[in-house]
């Protein structure tokens, strides 16, 4: 029989820099290679694309994969489940150390390629393999990777299954059980159920929102919330700005459609908007109306904002970056009066995003909201639903999959303990069938 190890490399003590390794005898599959952005942003003037891995590991920004040297085995594949930076942002710094292909879905693959191209310190030459949801990739004679369709706050997200001679290992980071998505299809419940019936040795699952009671609302609820704020008003002739996650293609697609319904020109503004949305367009995930305008580079942005003010703010719907108050992003620059777009009293600013719970973003966001209010803006905050499963969704997935072992990942210890309480309710026993791992630890699964 083959012995199985699950190695928590990163993302078990914190949010971000996710990386897990599954060891099957002497073959290793890496799941995700993420970046913890707030550890980079806390320093001024860092140019991450020129930095060395060891420096970034020391900052806690990328997973400390130096522990992999102590693991007896060879990495055979690097698998990424979706294109968020906390899942792919470590690739330019770490992937070249492993002679293994990087496997991901088409949209994720395109984002990984952009990451690799913008890297200035290392050259990542790994083979890149595109695998669609529903597909299987044979890694070695005994190990294959299967992708199962999921839903999350970015398109083309999957559950990854590592099939081993000892059974399947399901990696469920990140997901929501959205049965009414506005883009793509609902998660593949049929396959999840059949997988559960076949028997699952272990499930590694995100714990992010496991302490939040109930069920995560569908993206179709967010669609209605945003529509109600944008169209449900008698003050339809004022300036309106929407800000949301540039990578949230489904949300941006809804907002673009609402702009047309409002008789306004949708204008995507900010470098990240340019990257994520144009990539989705190139791959055929999203259609644009003919009148859409997109501006990424700084000089184009200011020119466009000037044009909007000259022609009339009520004729446009700017969709901009900067909802977390990130210095240098578009909305904070508008709030600071650094652009030609001025906020007049009564103008509306819609935050189709939550506040990421870290002291730094909370501080940035507070400053942003205060500056906007001082200029007379009316604020609509949290017009948003989460992309992460809540407690009862976790309960449901756990019961569908019915794994022998469960390991919460992708969260801090408070998030893991919420998951552990829920899993105990489902009959799992901590230290026996339910496992709390910290970064750097390996769990040996023995039959
Ligand atoms: Zn994610």
Ligand 1 centre distance from Cα of residue 3 (Å):
30
Secondary element (H or E) of residue 322: none
199-244 confidence digits (pLDDT tens)? 999 999 999 999 999 999 999 999 999 999 999 999 999 999 999 9
**How far does residue 291's CA lie from ligand 1's centre (Å)?**
31
Q: Rounded to the nearest whole angstrom, what is the distance from the C-alpha of residue 173 to the centroid of ligand 1?
A: 7
pLDDT (tens digit per residue) in 173-186:
999 999 999 999 99
What mean pLDDT is predicted for residues 36-44? 75
SS3 string of 49-77?
HHCCHHHHHHCCCCCCHHHHHHCCCEEEE
Q: Cα torsion at 285, 189, 134, 406 (round to 10°)?
A: 110
**CA 74 to centroid of ligand 1, rounded, Å:** 27
86 CA to centre of ligand 1 in angstroms: 7
Buried (b) or exposed (e) across 147-181, using 16+ Cβ within 10 A? bbbbbbbbbbbbbbbbbbebbbbbbbbbbbbbeeb
C-beta of residue 36 within 8 angstroms of C-beta of residue 61? yes
In three-state secondary structure terms, 318 is strand
Identify the band that residue 44 occupies on the pLDDT scale cut at 50, 70 and 90: low
Of residues 28 and 53, which shows the higher confidence score? Answer: 28
Q: How many angstroms does the Cα of residue 389 sit away from the middle of ligand 1? A: 11
Alpha-carbon distance 172 to 164, whole Å?
Answer: 17
Ligand 1 is an ion; its neighbours by CB within 5 Å are 84, 174
Cα(251) to ligand 1 centroid in Å equals: 15
Instruction: Kindly give the distance from the C-alpha atom of residue 171 to the centroid of ligand 1, in angstroms, as a whole number.
Output: 13
**pLDDT of 360 strictly over 90:** no
Tell me the C-alpha distance between 236 and 240, whole Å: 9
Q: How many angstroms separate the alpha carbon of residue 239 from the centre of ligand 1?
A: 32
Nearest partner of 348 among 303, 314, 325, judged by Cα: 314
Give the separation between CA 433 and CA 428, rounded to whole angstroms: 6
Q: How many whole angstroms from 123 Cα to the centroid of ligand 1?
A: 25
Q: How far is the CA of 36 from the centre of ligand 1 (A)?
A: 12
CA of 97 to the centre of ligand 1 (A): 24
User: Is residue 429's pLDDT more than 90?
Assistant: yes
Q: Is the pTM of this model over 0.85?
A: yes
């Amino acid at each position: 029989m083959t012995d199985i190890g699950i190695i928590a490399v990163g993302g078990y003590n914190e949010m971000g820099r996710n990386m897990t390794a599954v060891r099957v005898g002497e073959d290793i599959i890496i799941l995700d290679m993420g970046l913890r952005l707030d550890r980079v942003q806390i320093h001024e003037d860092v140019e991450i694309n020129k930095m060395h891995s060891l420096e970034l590991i020391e900052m806690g920004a990328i997973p400390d994969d130096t522990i992999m040297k102590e693991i007896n085995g060879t990495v055979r594949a690097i698998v990424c489940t979706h294109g968020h930076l906390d899942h792919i942002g470590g690739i330019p710094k770490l992937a070249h150390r492993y002679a293994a292909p990087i496997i991901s879905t088409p949209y994720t693959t395109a984002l990984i390629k952009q990451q690799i191209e913008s890297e200035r310190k290392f050259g990542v030459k790994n083979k890149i393999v595109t695998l669609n949801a529903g597909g299987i990739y044979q890694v070695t004679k005994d190990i294959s990777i299967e992708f199962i369709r999921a839903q999350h706050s970015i398109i083309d997200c999957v559950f990854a299954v590592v099939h081993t001679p000892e059974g399947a290992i399901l990696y469920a980071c990140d997901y929501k059980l959205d049965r009414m998505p506005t883009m793509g299809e609902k998660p593949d419940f049929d396959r999840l159920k059949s997988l559960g019936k076949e028997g699952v040795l272990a499930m590694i699952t995100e714990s992010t929102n496991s302490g939040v009671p109930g069920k995560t609302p569908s993206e179709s609820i967010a669609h209605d919330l945003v529509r109600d704020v944008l169209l449900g008003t008698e003050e339809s002739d004022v300036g309106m700005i929407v800000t949301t996650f540039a990578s949230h293609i489904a949300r941006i697609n809804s907002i673009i459609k609402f702009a047309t319904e409002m008789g306004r020109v949708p204008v995507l503004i900010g470098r990240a908007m340019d990257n994520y949305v144009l990539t989705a367009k190139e791959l055929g995930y999203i259609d644009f109306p003919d009148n859409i305008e997109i501006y990424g580079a700084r000089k184009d942005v200011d020119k466009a904002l000037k044009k909007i003010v000259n022609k009339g703010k009520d004729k446009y719907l700017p969709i901009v970056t900067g909802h977390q108050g990130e210095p240098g992003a578009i909305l904070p620059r508008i709030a600071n009066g650094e652009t030609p777009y001025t906020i007049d009293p009564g103008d509306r600013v819609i935050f189709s995003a939550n506040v990421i719970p870290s002291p730094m973003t909370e501080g940035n966001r507070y400053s942003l909201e205060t500056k906007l209010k001082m200029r007379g803006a009316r604020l609509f905050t949290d017009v948003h639903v989460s992309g992460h499963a809540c407690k009862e969704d976790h309960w449901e997935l756990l019961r569908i999959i019915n794994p022998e072992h469960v390991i919460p990942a992708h969260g801090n210890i408070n998030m893991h303990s919420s998951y552990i309480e829920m899993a105990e309710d489902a009959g799992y026993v901590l230290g026996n069938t339910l496992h709390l791992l910290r970064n750097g630890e390996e769990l040996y699964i023995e039959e």
